[in-house]
Structure 1
Amino acid sequence: MGRFMRRARKIKVDHNSEFELDLAPLLAVMVKLVPVLLVSSAFVQMMVIETELPQVVSEAIQRQDEQKTPTNVAMEVDAKDGIRIIVTAKGQEKIETIPLKDGAYDLQSLHQKLVEVKKAHPEVFKMELNPDGKVSYDTLVRIMDAARQARDNNVKFPVFDTKQGKNVETNYMFPEIIFANTMEG
């Protein structure tokens, strides 16, 4: 009987050894995946352009969000017609069109028009952007640059500073840009 038990115990040990996991292939896959993940995460960081806005401008954007009927500035970018600036204030729409110049977007005229819009509505720091599907990414970046801040250092806009309790000057125009039609498929 003792011999039988010994044999049974031995069989049990052999039986367990059949189910040992060989982790070498899994480790090999992990070793190959880690560099791929590191490289891809570095790319993601490169694609995000972080820009710090002055606190005064950030607070002004927040105030604009809290308004029930804020003045709305929108830009429609069309591959054929050019760029339309639509300002909706107190329920009234005003449309300015900047046509294409020699088949390209007239970014100089666009910037000048946006400076005029900003002077008329200094409390607005947010803009909606509705690009046509045919407009290139590079063009959109240049349009957003034209809207972000005044290029002329002498051009300043008033913004209310809650800490000082008075208006201060900034050269930021429309740093907060929202793509309004990106959800439309």
Structure 2
Amino acid sequence: MYRAPSRRKLKKEIEKPNLIPILDAVFIFIFFLLMSSRFLNINEIQSDVPIVSDRQPPKSDKKPLALTLKIQNTRIQVLTGVPGSVRKNIGKNADGDYDLLSLREYLISLKKNNVDENSIVLEPLVDLSYEDIVKIMDSVRDLKKTDPDIWTKTKDGMDLRVKELFNNIVFGNIQS
């Protein structure tokens, strides 16, 4: 009589590796990486894009201020009106930076005569560093507590202190 080899009858189970310690180590490693990483604080600078339309603007008796800052290598030109006419040239100070204090003082005087105007167009004609753009934006955006008070009338006839200079910043052109 023929007898089958014993190796065929005895099927030996293959041992599977125990993955639980490996998974524990991976999860602890992921947790350690998350806890030791530095999270970045990302800030956003609010700015609008110019609107291009073929419609006629609404008719108004009051001419728009159309305030524009043309930023050049040696100066900042302040233009108003359509088409823009140069109202003031702001140069650089002794440190070689734009004289943002003079710019701010001039914009405050413009705001006093145009209380309802909130828009300003920045047109950098040169390559500016990010820090320079932010400094210019900060100087034209909000009124500080040390600035002279500007008042306006609400619809109810109440006096209201203006807290913003020209906070609606639009970039007219961007150079890379």
TM-score normalised according to structure 1 size: 0.57
2:138 paired residue number = 145
Q: Match of 2:42, as an amino acid?
A: M
Whether the 8 Å CA contact 2:118–2:167 is kept in 1: the answer is yes
Whether the 8 Å CA contact 1:153–1:171 is kept in 2: the answer is no
Distance in 2 (alpha carbons) for counterparts of 1:92 and 1:141: 24
Matches within 5 A, 1:19-168: 46-49=42-45, 70-79=64-73, 81-88=74-81, 93-102=85-94, 103-153=96-146, 155-162=148-155, 164-168=156-160
| Structure 1 residue 173 corresponds to structure 2 residue 165 | yes
How far off is 1:165 after superposition?
4.4
Between structures 1 and 2, the one with greater strand share: 1
Distance in 2 (alpha carbons) for counterparts of 1:158 and 1:94: 27
Q: Secondary structure, in 3 states, of the residue corresponding to 1:108? A: helix
Distance in 2 (alpha carbons) for counterparts of 1:161 and 1:66: 22
Whether the 8 Å CA contact 1:128–1:180 is kept in 2: the answer is yes
Q: Return 5+ residue gaps in structure 1 as ranges.
A: 1-31, 51-64
Cα distance change of structure 1 residues 120 and 165 upon mapping to structure 2, 3 Å threshold: closer
TM-score normalised according to structure 2 size: 0.59
Q: 1:56-113: CA deviations, max 9, x gaps?
A: xxxxxxxxx966552210111112x211111117x67342100112222111111111
How far off is 1:175 after superposition?
0.7
Between structures 1 and 2, the one with greater helix share: 1
Aligned length: 130
Q: Match of 2:43, as an amino acid?
A: M
How many percent identity over aligned positions?
21
Q: Return 5+ residue gaps in structure 2 as ranges.
A: 1-29, 47-56
* RMSD, aligned α-carbons: 3.3
Q: Secondary structure, in 3 states, of the residue corresponding to 2:107? A: helix
